[in-house]
Amino acid sequence: MSAHYQILHDTCYHYDSPVSLAQQLAHLWPRECTWQRCTEQQLLISPEPTARRDELDVFGNPLTRLAFERPHDELQVNARLTIEVLARPTLDFNQSPAWELTRDALTYSSQPLSADLLEACRYRFQSPYVHLKRSFVEFSDSCFPAGQSLLLCVQDLMQKIFSEFTFDAEATQVATPLVEVLERRRGVCQDFAHLMLACVRSRGLAARYISGYLLTQPPPGQPRLIGADASHAWVSVFCPVLGWVDFDPTNNVQPALEHITLAWGRDFSDVSPLRGVILGGGNHDPEVRVTVMPLD
C-alpha cells in the first residue's frame, strides 16, 4: 500500500528596502527514507542566486546553500515535489524494553556504545528550543510508571498532550518559551513537538524533531485550496529494539501514509525550511503557501 502526493511549498519575501547581500539555507528537499520515495523535485529561485551548493547537513538532511550578491527587493523560493509514501510495518509496543532500561542503555559508561546508541545520544540533550527542566518531568510523570514499556509510555504522553492542549495558531511564535506553552496549554504543532521532546529528553531518553507535511482534508463539500496547507512537525523516539518510532502529538496518531517526512534534527532550528542572513531589507515577513495534493 502506498500514497502519492504533489507538494508545492512557496516562500516569498518582500523587502522594504533593497537587500545588497544575502546567504540562505534551505531544507526543502525530502530526505531518503525506507518509507517514502521522491520521484520528482524542482527548486525555482528568483532572483537567480549568485552561487548555489547542494549538500547534506550534519544530520544527513539534504541542504541547499544559496548566495545572493546583487541587490534585490524580493526573494521567491518555490519547491515542487512528487513523493510516494509507503506503508510502515505494524509495531508491537510491548516488545520495547522498559523506559528505565532504555535510559540506562543511552548513558555513557565504561563500555563503548554501539553505533545506533551513539547516534541516538545526539538527540538526548538540550537544544536551542528544547530545554530540559524538572517541570517537564513532573508534567509527564503519570505517563512513565516504573517498569512500563518505553513506547507505551511515549504513546500515553502523546495522548496526554493531545487531550490537554488546544491548537491555537495565534497563541505562540517561533521563539515562545516551552514553559509558557506548558502553562497556557495552547500552541501549534511545532510547540507540541518541542514539548514532547522536552518531556522525553528530560528523562534521559533520545528523541528527534521531524519536519514535514501532512495531508489535510478540506471541509465537506469544499474543494482543496492551493496554499491552504502548512508545514507540519512531529517526534521520533529511539527504541533499542524497534529503532526510531514516530508520534504526532498534534493529532494523536502514529504517522503513516498521510505524513510526508522532509528532515529531522534536534528541534526546529536545525530544519527550518528557509533561513539566512541579509544585509539591508528593512522590515519583512515571509509569505508562505503550502499545498499537499493527493495524486490518483
DSSP SS3 for 213:
strand
Contact 139, 185 (CB under 8 A): no
Contact 96, 150 (CB under 8 A): yes
Q: Which grid cell sits at 161?
A: 498532550
pLDDT (0 to 100) of residue 112? 80
Q: Which residue has the cell 520528482?
A: 40
pLDDT (0 to 100) of residue 224? 64
62/8 Cα distance (integer angstroms)? 17
Q: Residue 188 burial (CB < 10 Å; 0-12/13-18/19+)?
A: buried
Taking only the tens place, the pLDDT of each residue in 164-193 is 999 998 888 888 899 999 999 999 999 999
CATH of 93-267, one of 3.90.550.10, 3.10.620.30, 3.40.50.150, 3.40.720.10: 3.10.620.30
The residue ranges of every structural domain in the chain are 2-86+272-295, 93-267
54/80 Cα distance (integer angstroms)? 16
pLDDT (0 to 100) of residue 110? 61
pLDDT (0 to 100) of residue 173? 85
pLDDT band at 226 (very low <50, low <70, confident <90, very high): low
84/114 Cα distance (integer angstroms)? 32
Query: What is the rounded radius of gyration, in angstroms, for the C-alpha atoms of the chain?
Result: 20
pLDDT (0 to 100) of residue 225? 55
> What is the average per-residue pLDDT within 49-78?
96
CA dihedral 257, 92, 141, 212 (to 10 degrees): -20
pLDDT (0 to 100) of residue 285? 80
Q: Which residue has the cell 552561487?
A: 51
182/164 Cα distance (integer angstroms)? 10
pLDDT (0 to 100) of residue 174? 81
- Whether the full predicted model's pTM is greater than 0.75, yes or no, is yes
pLDDT (0 to 100) of residue 216? 82
pLDDT (0 to 100) of residue 267? 97
122/52 Cα distance (integer angstroms)? 29
> What is the average per-residue pLDDT within 251-279?
95
Cα dihedral sign, 201-261-276-13 = negative
pLDDT (0 to 100) of residue 274? 94
Q: Which grid cell sits at 38?
A: 521522491
Residue 222 has pLDDT above 90, yes or no: no
> What is the average per-residue pLDDT within 226-246?
89
Taking only the tens place, the pLDDT of each residue in 94-124 is 999 999 999 999 987 767 888 999 999 999 9
CATH of 2-86+272-295, one of 1.10.8.350, 2.60.40.10, 1.20.950.20, 2.60.40.2250: 2.60.40.2250
State which amino acid sits at residue 179. V
Strand partners, 8: 80, 291
> What is the average per-residue pLDDT within 58-70?
96
Contact 126, 66 (CB under 8 A): no
β-pairing verdict for 72-86 and 36-46: antiparallel
Residue 218 has pLDDT above 80, yes or no: no
217/41 Cα distance (integer angstroms)? 24
Query: Cα 145 vs. chain centroid, distance in angstroms?
Result: 28
CB atoms under 10 Å from CB of 17, counted, come to 12
Q: Name the DSSP class of 96.
A: S
